[in-house]
Amino acid sequence: MSSKKTIKAAFEAMMFTLGEPLDVKLAADVLGISNKDACAYFKELQDEYEQEGRGLRVREVNGAFQFVTSSDVYDYIERLCTPSKKKKLSQSALEVLAIIAYKQPVTRGEIEAVRGIKCDRVLEGLENKGLIAEVGRSAGVGRPILYGTTDTFLRHFGFTSIEDLPGIDDIENAVHEQEEDDDSGQVTFNLNESVAQ
Amino acid sequence: MSSKKTIKAAFEAMMFTLGEPLDVKLAADVLGISNKDACAYFKELQDEYEQEGRGLRVREVNGAFQFVTSSDVYDYIERLCTPSKKKKLSQSALEVLAIIAYKQPVTRGEIEAVRGIKCDRVLEGLENKGLIAEVGRSAGVGRPILYGTTDTFLRHFGFTSIEDLPGIDDIENAVHEQEEDDDSGQVTFNLNESVAQ
Amino acid sequence: MGYKVKLSVFEGPFDLLVHLIENARMSIYDIKVAEITAQYLAYIEEMNSREIYVGAEFIVLAAALIEIKSKMLLPRITNESETDMTGDPRSELVERILEYKKFKQAAALIEEAEQRALRVFEKPQEDISRFLDQPDEYLQMDIKQFMNAFNLFLHKKQKIEEIKKNYARVEREKITVEQKINYIHSYFGLAGKDKVTFTDLVKENPGRYNTAVTFSSLLEMARKNEIELMQKHNFGPIWIKEVKKREADA
């Protein structure tokens, strides 16, 4: 049986070697410990790096863990090397991605209904970037493709899991609150409308 | 002026991102500190990682520093990175294995009599895989080798003993019943048709 | 006018509409359709005049707006004091705008997350090629697969044995039709009856070959009027009656 220290050291070295997120199950298998214990050790590491204010952080992506740099020292890295930049997504890509992220699994038709505009090109682009993937077929007419987000999506946005997304209910509330605010100043104009026509 | 903590965090993130050894001069430049100070910080990091028994170590290569994995956890890295290949037994290997499992101890001659085909190659393969082993010699002419299954064989199926195998009697009964069924399906003629000529 | 800025930036007709409504400081729940439609159409015209492609989707929404506008001109049937949203020709449009706004806001939220995540770097995988050359081989086997393989073998073996058995039987019992006819004649004598069933004849040896030879022999005997064959119904018992020699002569 390996000591706690050895297990954590092994996880560090394994994450470093792998680069991409290391699945808890796989890590637990290699060490011969339970998934639950493995997960607890990863969380401990995560806390340590954060609390010690290190330049590396342990990031969780859908039940897997990876080393990434701390965003606190971004400026230095940028000064050191112009790192191969992940490209920012376009506005339309972000919109489509938001619809998929919150409504998944979702068909192209449903996405287009929300945006009022075709989005086959955007979908293709997102799929090529690995941010979305086909996750099945709808039972509806023509059995259209259902889309969902991928782990690459989580990594690109720094989300731990899909539950980590800002709550859609909050968004709805935010929209409504804003509307109410808007409403307060509008009463007088509303009457004018019928007259104007 | 950056704090000591920030400088070290920056060095960590810079080493991590760069991959190859990070030159002290370059690192000092980015942080706007002297080479001497930069070198001292790298050495401090080196000591920290070593003393804390982490899975990563800071290695110096000719006035440059890089993260490497600790040799203490090499075995885990090896286990993580070594791909595993699933191999399946061929139909003939499974047959021979089944005959040995149910009739053990059994000679090659007896196996060949059941299968009506030579099986020295198959036996060799199964022996190399540790699934069968010589368990003695028959008293018969030429004192041929007797084969039996091994603990490895049992482990593969998660059995504790050979008695755990599904009963062979069931199989023999099944075969007999099937034969009787065949017989009862007697030839019947229909004279009316034949006579109709 | 607000709608003249950033001409091509809109992500679709709803995006443009939301922009116009917000720009006019209108409430989404009480859109001044006439005003907004005019602005919307002006915008599209502007796009046209600058030879910017106007997607069909923009035209579709323009048509919808005009339709709503015309419905708004009709006298309301509902009591003025009651706000009957279901009767409001704008209600479906409002719903769709709200839905679109919700996801536009969600897009803004995930864009913020993207901004933060872009400040974080991953590292590529280390060179692990030396491990890849020697894969760990392990045997994949489960009991079901094992039993299936064994059953298949037993089945195969059983079939082969059956064929062998039949082959051997034919060798042993190569009795001719002539021999069988003689046997049938003697059978009537031995049984002391002049009427027997087919089953009686093959009772001692119900094998396939014997059954077939017996049957052909009977057909041959019937052809020569040595016997009469009777069967009352399909697959029923076949009765064989010996025809006495003198009757046959007569």
Q: Does residue B176 lie within any of the structural domains?
A: no
Q: Does residue A145 belong to any structural domain of this protein?
A: yes
- The three-state (H, E, C) secondary structure of chain B, written as one string: CCCHHHHHHHHHHHHHHHCCCEEHHHHHHHHCCCHHHHHHHHHHHHHHHHHCCCCEEEEECCCEEEEEECHHHHHHHHHHHCCEEEECCCHHHHHHHHHHHHHCCEEHHHHHHHHCCCCHHHHHHHHHCCCEEEEEECCCCCCCEEEEECHHHHHHHCCCCHHHCCCHHHHHHHHHHHHHHHHHCCCCCCHHHHHCC
Examine the domain organization and report whether B77 and B128 are in the same domain. no
Q: Which domain holds residue B17?
A: 4-81
B182 in a domain, yes or no?
A: no
Per-residue pLDDT tens over the stretch A50-83: 999 999 999 999 999 999 999 999 999 999 986 5
Let me know whether A131 and A160 are in one domain.
yes
Q: Using CB atoms, pick whichever of A14, A56, A67 lies closest to residue B77.
A: A14
Question: Domains in chain C, start-ordered, CATH in brackets?
Answer: 13-76+88-110 (no CATH), 177-249 (1.10.10.580)
**Angle of helix A168-184 relative to helix C91-117, nearest 10 degrees?**
120
Beta bridge partners of C139: B87
If residue C160 lies in a helix (H) or strand (E), which one and from where to where?
A: helix C143-172
* C-alpha of C138 from chain center: 35
Q: For residue C212, which residues of chain B lie inside 8 Å, CB to CB? A: 187
The structure tokens 């209904």 sit at A113
Cβ separation B10–A53 shorter than 8 A? no
Euclidean distance between CA atoms C223 and B49, whole angstroms: 107
Query: In this complex, is the C-beta atom of C27 within 8 Å of any C-beta atom belonging to chain A?
Result: yes
Confirm whether A125 is domain-assigned. yes
Q: Tell me, yes or no, whether A174 lies in a domain.
A: no
- On whether both B77 and B29 belong to a single domain, the answer is yes
Same domain, A96 and A133: yes
Q: Which of A130, A159, A167 is nearest to A147 (CA)?
A: A130
**Lowest-pLDDT range, A20-24, B46-50, B74-78, C43-47?**
C43-47
Q: Does A189 touch chain C (CB under 8 A)?
A: yes
Decide which of B149 and C82 is more confident: B149
A69 in a structural domain:
yes
Mean pLDDT of B166-178: 50
* Residue A165 contacts C where some CB pair is shorter than 8 Å: yes
Which has the closest alpha carbon to C175: C202, C136, C149, C154? C202
Looking at the structure, do residues A72 and A132 belong to the same domain, yes or no?
Answer: no
Other C-beta atoms closer than 10 Å to the C-beta of A20 total 16
Taking the alpha carbons of A148, A151, A153, A159 in that order, is the dihedral positive or negative?
A: positive
Q: How confident is the model at residue B5 (pLDDT cuts 50, 70, 90)?
A: very high
Contact A132, A126 (CB under 8 A): yes
Same domain, A122 and A141: yes
Tokens of B123: 């036996």
Neighbours of chain B (3+ CB pairs under 8 A): A, C
Contact assessment for residue A22 and residue A14, using Cβ atoms and an 8 Å cutoff: yes
CA–CA distance, B184 with B165 (Å, rounded to integer): 32
- The number of distinct structural domains making up chain A is 2
The residue in chain B having the minimum alpha-carbon distance to the alpha carbon of residue A28 is B80
- Is A67 inside a domain boundary? yes
> Which tokens hold the place of A134?
């086909």
Q: Is residue B185 domain-resident?
A: no
Q: What is the pLDDT of residue B189?
A: 47
Q: What ipTM is given for this predicted complex? A: 0.69
Looking at residue A197, its pLDDT comes to: 31
Subunits close to C (at least 3 CB pairs below 8 A): A, B
Q: What is the CATH number of the domain that holds A128?
A: 1.10.10.10
Residue type, B71: S
Mutation target for A interface from C60, C102, C112: give the one with most A CBs within 10 A: C102
**Token pair for C49:** 């005049």
Instruction: Match 């991409």 to its residue by tokens.
Output: A20
The answer to whether residues C16 and C58 touch, using CB atoms and an 8 Å cutoff, is yes
Put simply, whether C4 touches A (Cβ < 8 Å) is no
Report the pLDDT value the prediction gives residue A122, as an integer from 0 to 100.
95
pLDDT-based confidence at A196, cuts 50/70/90? very low
